[in-house]
Amino acid sequence: MPIDFANELNPSQLEAVMHQGSPALVIAGAGSGKTRTIVYRLARLVQDGVPPENILLLTFTRKAAQEMLLRAGSILGRNLSGTSGGTFHSFAYGVLRRNGRTLGFETGFTLMDRADSENVVKEVKDNLKLGKGDRSYPKKNTLLDMITKSRNKERSIDAIVESEAYHLSAYAEDFQSIAGEYTRFKQSHALMDYDDLLFRFEELLRSDPSLLEELRARYQHIMVDEYQDTNKVQARLVRLLSGESGDVVAVGDDAQSIYAFRGADVANILDFPKIFKDAKLIRLERNYRSTQAILNLTNHILAGAHTKFDKTLVSDRDTGRLPRIVHPLSDQTQAKQVVEEVIKLAKKYPLHDIAVLFRAGYQSYPLEVALSRVGIRYQKYGGLRFHEAAHIKDVLAYLRLTHNPADMVAWRRVFAPIKGIGPKTADRIAKARLTADGKYIAKAMKRFPALRELFDHLDGLRNCSRPGQALERINMFYQPILAELYPDDYPKRQTGLDQLSQIATNYTSIDDFLADLTLDGDQEEEKRKEHALVLSTVHSSKGLEWSAVLIIDLVEDRFPSKRALARPEDMDEERRLLYVACTRAKDSLTMFVPATIFNRFNAVSEPATPSPFIAELPGDCAEMWRETYASGLRQETQHAGTHASGVNGNALPAEPSDTLSPGPATGTPKLGICRHKIFGQGKIIAQIPPNKYRVNFPGFGLKVIVADYLELL
DNA sequence: GTGTAATGCCTTTTT
DNA sequence: GGCATTACAC
């Protein structure tokens, strides 16, 4: 039975769904039925006779792709499994694996996750003898950050250091050489990191025209979701695959761009019509998700942006209840109040339809304790992942070695539990293994009997072709090691390993299994728990929606995160992040602004300033509640922020030239460098009316300083 | 070279 | 609560 598209969709959605044969850009506001549009277009293509295998659907997470294909399939009443769908990274991985030889990986390659990459960077740094004895030398995390930022943004390391970490400029040269060595290490050990997947994929397409032709012939219809969060390579990849006038539909929302930190470039959306010939522009502006009361607030948040968005969402729904801004006395009592609020909400909505959102993973810890205490089940998105746990990585190391004997990262791991073998000896043995230096190996096995067992074990594994079977054997071998390594909680870790074995049985290829774990984090997450409250970072909440949303820790330094504010533009990204958070809510939105924050650095509760995004909101768009010392909540009768007077929803200073120009503000030239008597030279991040500046001082961090004390340079 | 204990430092977001 | 470094004993 044919689908009645005109009846199921609004005119703009219909236009997007019916579009075919040339490039199109769909600007889809939050909650405007973006997913629905993609799903229906998939269904429409297939209904019109397009074979599913000619469609490529690129999304931000693999879960999103799977869900869309599933929905399209159920509308059509047929299976769309032939469709290629996934993230840029997973798609690239698949092609690279089939064509690795072209790039010089004769026997394939191993994909590294973040932790692996960091370890390699650290090793490279040590080998170069950099930073010896320097306590304040940048950590491996920072080192890798600089390297991947430089790659993703396609700017030199020097440029990155200068614009967003200039307090590290003394190390810029080191970064350069570490980056060079890192690249060589990866190549010589058949390793790839996330960035390599994209860049080497591009390299492959450019160096192998016949492969490119083949892919183009196959993927005649391409759809890209979350286009605002693509970076430069990704945009080039789309263009390579589709051609300038191919059938490519990009969907995105410039107001929801929240991945600039990893090189996402809003310019991709803005330039789409320039790059793709005769691109059609379609706008989806009607919001089907949130109540008007919620949208009023989110529109205010967006209005304060320095980069202007010509976007005012209008709801298709009732006015609804006003959002609430709650001021607990501390972040400890905040947890208690969130729990109480959740209990109230749970009478109206199922638990999995309620979410608590926060800027960074660690911010939910106090809440997690409080939830456990009262016995509310929860599931957490973002933050630490299943496969990042040490014991999981240990077990996977054995598996990796069966396919890539050059994988030094894995060798280190499997040697570590053997007493007497430290990093040096480990390296030596691994090298001897590679160069077939039998003498050294024999000597080593004599000295460390456990080594023979290990090698026998690894040899045994190479006969297993199925990952499930291999993991069974590994678990047996690893069992005693686990108990010794983690005496406190090894039973709990054991269940994690059992889960891993379970997941592994779904795979027939070890390579695929390993890659999927690093590319997609949690398979475990698939079985999304029914009846469990959702805790999520805002980033991980992208694309999702809940009836009730609670946002915590809306105070200066946490949201906006002080770590994120290296450049003036970053403030706007934090703002968009809050916009994304608020627009997740369908019916109920509650925001928490604790008066004090516990600082684990000195174990003291410190006073906190409300987030500027909250302080600037006009009083009529939210109810204000305050925790009293009697530990109850009291609603404030007067209008919201007294400090918001005169701000009118726009905290940023009137900068005449910028307010007029649409599109991204060009570098905000008026916010420059300044000097302070005590803190020295610093970079001005924002102006705070009437007479203050927010300044980033290297070594001292962000400060809000009265203009009189600053010397502008 | 390795293992252990003590110290000082910082804790964003994700493929 | 983790990470990197240092000091010290084997």
Q: In this predicted model, what pLDDT tens digit does every residue of A382-392 receive, in sequence order? A: 766 677 778 88
**A64 annotated as belonging to a binding site for a ligand:** no
Please give the nucleotide, over all strands, whose C1' is closest to the CA of residue A603: C1
The predicted pLDDT at position A703 comes to 67
The DSSP secondary structure of A565-580, one letter per residue, reads -SSHHHHHHHHHHHHH
Mean pLDDT calculated for residue range A686-693: 70
Q: According to the model, what pLDDT value does residue A661 have?
A: 33
Find out whether A142 is annotated in a ligand binding site: no
Q: How far is the CA of A376 from the C1' of B7 (A)?
A: 39
In this predicted model, what pLDDT tens digit does every residue of A295-338 receive, in sequence order?
999 999 999 888 777 778 888 888 889 999 999 988 888 999 99
Beta carbons within 8 Å of A384's beta carbon, 6+ residues apart: A361
Higher pLDDT, A521 or A527: A521
Using the structure, give the distance in angstroms from the CA atom of A467 to the C1' atom of C9, rounded to a whole number.
44
Q: What pLDDT digit, counting tens, does each position of A539-595 carry?
A: 989 989 999 999 999 998 899 888 888 777 888 899 999 999 999 999 999 999 999
Lowest mean pLDDT among A75-79, A571-575, A651-655, A682-686: A651-655
Q: What's the rounded Cα separation, in Å, for the pair A421 and A408?
A: 15
pLDDT of residue A631: 65
Sign of CA dihedral A533, A539, A540, A541: positive
Q: By three-state DSSP, how is residue A673 classified?
A: strand
Listed in sequence order, the DSSP H helices in A19-110 are 34-47, 62-76, 88-98
Residue A356: enclosing H or E segment and its boundaries?
strand A354-358
Q: Look-up: residue for tokens 């203050």?
A: A692
pLDDT at residue A25 is higher than 80: yes
Mean pLDDT of A57-64: 88
User: What's residue A147's pLDDT?
Assistant: 94
Is nucleic acid strand C under 7 Å from A135's C-beta? yes
Residue A658 pLDDT level (bands cut at 50, 70, 90): very low
Sorted by sequence, the CB contacts under 8 Å of residue A21 that are 6+ apart come out as A247
* Mean pLDDT rounded to a whole number for chain A: 84
A264 annotated as ligand-binding = no
> In this structure, what DSSP letter does residue A133 have?
T
A34 is in an annotated binding site: yes
**Domain boundaries of chain A, sorted by first residue:** 5-98+197-284, 111-189, 314-384+526-635, 386-510, 673-712
**pLDDT for residue A179 is more than 90:** yes
Position A640 pLDDT exceeds 60: no
- pLDDT > 70 fraction of chain A, expressed in percent and rounded: 90
CA A569 from chain centre, in angstroms, equals 19
Element (H, E) at A270: helix A267-275
DSSP symbol at A528: P
Residues A704, A713: Cα–Cα separation, whole Å: 17
**pLDDT > 80? residue A668:** no
Using the CB atom, is residue A493 less than 7 Å from strand C? no
A87 CB closer than 7 A to any strand B atom: yes
| Tens digits of residue pLDDT in A141-178 | 999 999 999 999 999 999 998 888 878 888 888 899 99
Q: What is the rounded CA–CA span in Å between residue A559 and residue A577?
A: 9
Q: For A235-268, write each residue's pLDDT tens digit.
A: 999 999 998 888 999 999 999 999 999 999 888 9
pLDDT of A653 over the 80 cut: no
In Å, what is the separation between the CA of A130 and the C1' of C6?
A: 17
Place of tokens 């608590």: A356
A386-510 has which CATH code? 1.10.486.10
Q: Are the CB atoms for A523 and A500 separated by under 8 Å?
A: no
Cβ of A542 near strand B (distance < 7 A): no
pLDDT at A664 over 90: no
What is the CA A156 to C1' C3 distance in angstroms? 28
The predicted structure's pLDDT at residue A487:
72
The two structure tokens encoding residue A612: 């500027």
d(CA A485, C1' B1) / Å = 22
Indicate yes or no: strand B within 7 A of the C-beta of A382.
yes
pLDDT category of residue A646 using cuts at 50, 70 and 90: very low
A319-328, A522-531, A657-666 — which one is most confidently predicted on average? A319-328
Give, as one character, the DSSP assignment of residue A139. Answer: P
Is A312 annotated as a binding-site member?
no
pLDDT for residue A404: 84
**Same fold flag, A5-98+197-284 and A386-510:** no
Which nucleotides of chain B are near protein (any atom < 7 Å from a CB)? 1-3, 8-15
Q: Which of A 597-626 have CB under 7 A of nucleic chain C?
A: 600-601
Determine if strand C comes within 7 Å of the CB of A131. yes
Task: Return the CATH class of domain A5-98+197-284.
Answer: alpha beta
Question: Nearest to residue A569, comparing CAs of A465, A629, A455, A652?
Answer: A652
A429 Cβ nearer than 7 Å to chain B strand: no
Q: What is the mean pLDDT of residues A418-431?
A: 81
Q: What is the pLDDT of residue A583?
A: 95
Question: Residue A60's pLDDT is what?
Answer: 85
For residue A448, say whether its CB is under 7 Å from any atom of strand B. no
A286-294 average pLDDT score: 93
How much is the pLDDT for A605? 81
Which residue did the predictor score with more confidence, A179 or A700?
A179
Res A671: pLDDT: 63
Q: How far apart are CA A88 and CA A85, in angstroms?
A: 9
Q: Which pLDDT value is given to residue A331?
A: 86
CATH number, domain A314-384+526-635: 3.40.50.300
From CA A552, how far away is CA A359, in angstroms rounded? 8
A646: left (phi over 0), alpha (psi -120 to 50) or beta: left
Instruction: Tell me the whole-structure pTM to 2 decimals.
Output: 0.84
pLDDT value, residue A656? 33
Residues 256-275 of A with CB under 7 A from strand B: 259, 261-262
A139 touches strand C (CB under 7 A): yes
Question: A64 CA, C2 C1': separation in Å?
Answer: 33
pLDDT level of residue A233 (50, 70, 90 thresholds): very high
For the segment A407-416, what is each residue's pLDDT rounded down to a tens digit? 888 888 888 8
Let me know: does A684 contact A693? Beta carbons within 8 Å: yes
| A133 is near strand C: CB distance < 7 Å | yes
